[in-house]
Amino acid sequence: MSQLGPDYVRAIAPYQAGKPIAEVAREFGLDEAKIVKLASNENPFGVPESSRAAMAQAAADLGRYPDANGFELKAALSARYDVPAEWITLGNGSNDILEIAAHAFVQRGEAVVYSQYSFAVYALATQGVGGRAIVVPAQDYGHDLDAMAAAIDADTRLVFVANPNNPTGTFIPAAKIEAFLQKVPANVVVVLDEAYNEYLAPEHQFESSQWVRKYPNLVVSRTFSKAYGLAGLRVGFAIAQPAVTDLMNRIRQPFNVNSLAQAAAIAALNDKAFLDKGAQNNAAGYRQMIAAFEELGLQYVPSFGNFVLVKVGDDEQAGARVNLALLKQGVIVRPVGNYGLPQWLRISIGLPQENATFIEALKKVLG
Ligand SMILES: *Cc1c(COP(=O)(O)O)cnc(C)c1O
């Protein structure tokens, strides 16, 4: 056989990213300025001003390598989350954290547990190390933590839990997560992926960063890509006890977070006004979306993130068909057939006018 690469690498289905605006403009002959992109859960306000200013300053030093240890960013995170800087791992986006965890804790043939309909990168990270995926059926489109705990077998080394989950938007309350953590064996690492944490209403917030004091096998993962508006810079981080953090940092590429990203992240972390504005816009935009879905009689999954999953038809082509019709009108959303949800679309919450443009286009498409 002259096949290149291991079979588990050839078996990986490539990640399907949201279509870039320029690509849709070219493909459908549309004006870029009129295209609305609600496909990648990006922040509709873009980069915070505070981060732009910080990057302008940091740009002067781009001839040098970034700080491999991210001293200042870790100091800022350490102060914010009340954990020692030695407990923090920086990532080139939190996707990097997920991959680092798979490389650090799983060898070929060992098992990784995650939920059906959970973030696509869990499957990719597992396959990338030749791990065996144990995919646990979802409950009401969210994680069934009892079933996930029961699915952990002797070969399991890692569990991914997304809270809130993408693409379904479901949320698990603190008490349930803690009950789950108590059941997981100490030799199994749990990555609690909280990419949308900052969008949670105050009554749903909890300090998961403090759980790492209690659970030596817990990794809390966060990102600057969503609420902080820095998706293009690629910066995320993990909080875990030193034994786990030390292993993750051995796998991490030393310069995985560039200088502009480090500077921008520090500024964003301290920009409470930007976060508040985003959270308010998101809450209002969510109400705008679900009001339209209710008017159209469409089923949706109540969401705790900055996006919402909506069922646009009963046949297996519904998602792809409605997606194409929306693209022709210059509206980019995310089909989720690759998640096993071919009747659904995931819509990111945008600015009020962007949401209105999408709703108008959807009404036209569904006639
Ligand atoms: C968007 C997202 C991430 C973050 O991706 P980055 O690499 O930080 O941009 C992580 N987990 C989930 C569930 C997400 O939806």
CA–CA separation, 125 vs 12, rounded Å? 10
Cis, peptide link before residue 164, omega less than 30° from 0:
yes
Ligand 1 centroid to residue 111 C-alpha, Å = 22
Average pLDDT over residues 145-161: 98
Are 169 and 122 a contacting pair, CB within 8 Å?
no
CA–CA separation, 227 vs 41, rounded Å? 9
Residue with the smallest CA separation from ligand 1 atom 1 is 195
Ligand 1 centroid to residue 286 C-alpha, Å = 20
Average pLDDT over residues 246-265: 97
End-to-end CA distance of the chain: 53
Ligand 1 centroid to residue 195 C-alpha, Å = 5
* Residue ranges around ligand 1 (CB below 6 Å): 41, 93-95, 119, 162, 166, 193, 195, 223, 225-226, 231, 236
Average pLDDT over residues 237-258: 97
- Helix 49-58 × helix 259-269 angle, to 10°: 150
Average pLDDT over residues 27-49: 96
Which phi and psi angles does 224 have, rounded to 5°? -95, 5
Average pLDDT over residues 95-111: 98
Instruction: Report pLDDT for 15.
Output: 79
Question: What's the mean per-residue pLDDT of the chain?
Answer: 96
Instruction: Report pLDDT for 1.
Output: 58
Pocket test for ligand 1, best of 43, 95, 97, 194 (most atoms within 8 A of CB): 95
Instruction: Report pLDDT for 358.
Output: 98
Residue with the smallest CA separation from ligand 1 atom 11 is 195
Average pLDDT over residues 226-237: 98
Q: Is pTM beyond 0.85 here? A: yes
Q: For residue range 345-359, what is the model confidence (pLDDT) as tens digits?
A: 999 999 999 999 999
CA–CA separation, 304 vs 300, rounded Å? 12
In 3D, which of 149, 150, 168, 108 has the Cα closest to residue 132? Answer: 108
Average pLDDT over residues 110-122: 97
Average pLDDT over residues 62-79: 97
For the chain, what's the residue count? Answer: 367
Q: Which domains does the chain have, with CATH numbers?
A: 7-46+273-366 (3.90.1150.10), 49-269 (3.40.640.10)
> Sorting pLDDT into bands at 50, 70 and 90, what band is 364?
very high
Ligand 1 centroid to residue 366 C-alpha, Å = 31
> Sorting pLDDT into bands at 50, 70 and 90, what band is 2?
confident
Pocket test for ligand 1, best of 94, 97, 160 (most atoms within 8 A of CB): 94
CA–CA separation, 10 vs 7, rounded Å? 5
CA–CA separation, 89 vs 209, rounded Å? 13
Ligand 1 centroid to residue 367 C-alpha, Å = 34
- What is the largest distance, in Å, between two alpha-carbon atoms of the chain? 59
Average pLDDT over residues 300-310: 98
H or E, element range at 79: helix 71-81
Q: What value, to the nearest 5°, has the Cα angle with vertex 77 and ends 277 and 70?
A: 120
- Examine the pLDDT at 93 and tell me if it is beyond 70: yes
Average pLDDT over residues 165-188: 97
CA–CA separation, 359 vs 365, rounded Å? 10
